[in-house]
Amino acid sequence: MKQTPGKKLRVALLGCGVVGSQVIRLMREQADDLAARVGAPLELAGVAVRRPGRARDVEVDPELITTDAEALVTRDDVDIVVEVIGGIEPARSLILAAMNSGKSVVTANKALLAEDGATIHRAARDNSVDLYFEAAVAGAIPLIRPLRESLAGDHVHRVLGIVNGTTNYILDKMDSSGASFSDALEEAQALGYAEADPTADVEGFDAAAKAAILAGIAFHSRVTAADVHREGITEITATDVASAKAMGYVIKLLAICARSEDGRSFGVRVHPAMIPRTHPLAGVREAYNAVFVEAESAGQLMFYGAGAGGAPTASAVLGDIVAVGRNRLAGTRGPEESTYADLTVHPVGETVTRYHVSLDVADKPGVLARVADMFAKQDVSIQTVRQEGLGADAQLVLVTHRASDAALSATIDSLRELDIVRDVVSVMRVEGEDAS
Ligand SMILES: NC(=O)C1=CN([C@@H]2O[C@H](COP(=O)(O)OP(=O)(O)OC[C@H]3O[C@@H](n4cnc5c(N)ncnc54)[C@H](OP(=O)(O)O)[C@@H]3O)[C@@H](O)[C@H]2O)C=CC1
Ligand SMILES: N[C@@H](CC=O)C(=O)O
């Protein structure tokens, strides 16, 4: 691209941790290429951090470091603000202050966008500045732009994905080496995949935030994290993983955004699910992410790559900085939806899928018939049933045909009332058998 003589674009970076340090490194190492792509050199105007004396993964000119992030984002010589602090505050106030003083913003902050994206999007519109957030979902994988731009002329039916690297790493380790949950989590933390508080990963909050963002874009609607049904992976045991494996399944934490059949509503949920080992998502190993999109005309699309880690996430941030830089030089703004579809988010009870149910039962005649009767009473059809173990170890393992979450929950409640059911050992959704 031809460079604008004398023009520089000044970037204020908020945060210099796992992601921020890699943004600085790449801006420095690729300065000439970036200048050519944007049309003007990018220059670091300042770096706001919390603990200025801390050792960092990248060398930063001490003159650039500040703890006064607010002063940095409102400075007249700053064009673009990159927020990689994370969390709700002070990130939200800083982004709003930046936009109110005319800066375009790039952020990787899924927690904030899922909690209060409406406020941030409105501020971008009101101030005629850009808001780009490719890194907020699935790290390095280009996903926001394909959904927001490339598929803008299509009708998305379903988005099904592995969007949290930490939990995929943990479940993959449990599956491949029989590791315990806590050992696998420790490894994921040491590799820098986990959030500062791993609860956000293992309890599904991080994936739920990403699911809210994806559903909002895919279905042109306002969706917040509170709209997402969320279950984490802390209850998954080595036994669950081994028994899924024995049946030809693998357990993954999935984010699922799906339109109802009449197209007027959609559901958004995050939970562990069994998927057949032949499904493309089953081959997504370690901390990788992958997202399956099903659209009316495009059909099935799959996006795959590194969903976490400093350099991969910084790659997505840099892509956004280039896009924002080009827009600023051209005096334009990127795509932003100004009106929203009138779709509602339906409750998880209306979800229709298949279930794997494992029960500890008394080992005596008539047990199978009584259990089957409870399923029949709720109109839940059983596809397969298997008895394992004998006497005190007797278990029934059932897989249902497609049924609603509400019907399955009612079935489980009634099974708990039966004297012959000693324990409901596990109930897990089975997904992905309809993907070719
Ligand atoms: N890590 C990853 O793989 C991915 C992260 N993300 C998102 O990117 C963002 C950043 O994540 P990550 O780099 O891992 O986080 P880190 O915790 O590694 O870094 C956070 C940075 O923010 C700084 N900071 C914290 N509070 C303040 C404050 N009040 N004022 C100024 N600076 C502050 C910290 O300063 P100090 O260093 O002095 O403590 C630190 O440099 C988050 O939104 C995260 O969800 C998205 C995709 C992947
Ligand atoms: N903790 C997150 C980081 C990226 O968003 C993950 O593990 O995916």
Last residue of a domain, one of 244, 276, 307: 307
Domain ends where: 276, 298, 330? 330
pTM of the model: 0.95
Residue 2 lies in a domain: no
CATH code for position 355:
3.30.70.260
Sequence-distant (6+) residues with CB within 8 A of 180 are: 174, 238
Question: For residue 414, is it within any domain?
Answer: yes
Q: Is the pLDDT of residue 326 over 90?
A: yes
For residues 159 and 281, membership in a common domain is answered with yes
**Same domain, yes or no: 89 and 157:** no
User: How far, in Å, from the CA of 164 to the mean position of ligand 2?
Assistant: 5
Predicted complex ipTM: 0.99
* pLDDT tens digits for range 131-182: 999 999 999 999 999 999 999 999 999 999 999 999 999 999 999 999 989 8
| pLDDT per position as a tens digit, 329-364 | 999 999 887 677 778 999 999 999 999 999 999 988
- Digit-coded pLDDT (tens) for 294-310: 999 999 999 999 998 89
Q: Does 119 lie in the same domain as 217?
A: no
Task: Judge if 241 and 226 occupy the same domain.
Answer: yes
Residue nearest to atom 31 of ligand 1 (CA): 49
Do 244 and 113 lie in a common domain? Answer: no
Q: What is the pLDDT of residue 435?
A: 45
94 and 194 belong to one structural domain: no
375 by DSSP, 3-state: which? helix
- Closest of 72, 83, 67 to residue 45, by C-alpha: 72
Tell me, yes or no, whether 340 lies in a domain.
no
- 270 plus 295 within the same structural domain: yes
- My answer on whether 155 and 231 are in the same domain is yes
- Share the mean pLDDT of the chain: 94
- Tell whether 39 is in a known binding site: no
Name the residue at shortest CA distance from atom 5 of ligand 2.
308
- Between 95-109, 177-191, 302-316, the lowest mean confidence (pLDDT) is in 177-191
Total domains, the chain: 3
Mutate to test the pocket of ligand 2, among 187, 193, 199 (most ligand atoms within 8 A of CB): 193
Q: Which ligand is nearest to the CA of 317?
A: 1
pLDDT > 90? residue 416: yes
Tell me: do 123 and 202 sit in the same domain.
no
Q: Are strands 288-295 and 156-162 parallel, antiparallel or unpaired?
A: antiparallel
Same domain, 204 and 177: yes
Active site residues: 210
pLDDT computed for residue 196 by the predictor: 66
With respect to residue 336, please indicate whether it lies within any of the assigned structural domains.
Answer: no
How many angstroms does the Cα of residue 429 sit away from the middle of ligand 2? Answer: 23
- Tell me, yes or no, whether 293 and 153 share the same domain: yes
Matching residue, tokens 């693998």:
250
Range of the domain at 126: 9-139+311-330
Q: Judge whether 335 lies within some domain.
A: no
Under 8 Å between Cβ of 370 and 419: no
| 166, 107: one domain | no
11 C-alpha to ligand 1 centroid (Å): 17
Ligand-binding site membership of 15 (annotated) = yes
Q: Are 119 and 100 in contact (CB under 8 A)?
A: no
Look at residue 383 and tell me whether its pLDDT is greater than 80.
yes
- Quick check: is 159 in a domain? yes
- Write out pLDDT tens, residues 208-265: 999 999 999 999 999 999 999 999 999 998 888 988 998 899 999 999 999 998 888 9
The yes-or-no verdict on residue 195 having pLDDT over 70 is no
Domain annotation covers residue 436? no
Give the percent of the chain with pLDDT over 90: 84
- Is 18 annotated in some ligand binding site? yes
Distance CA 181, CA 246 (A): 19
Q: Average pLDDT in the 104-121 region?
A: 97
What CATH number should be reported for the domain holding residue 223?
3.30.360.10
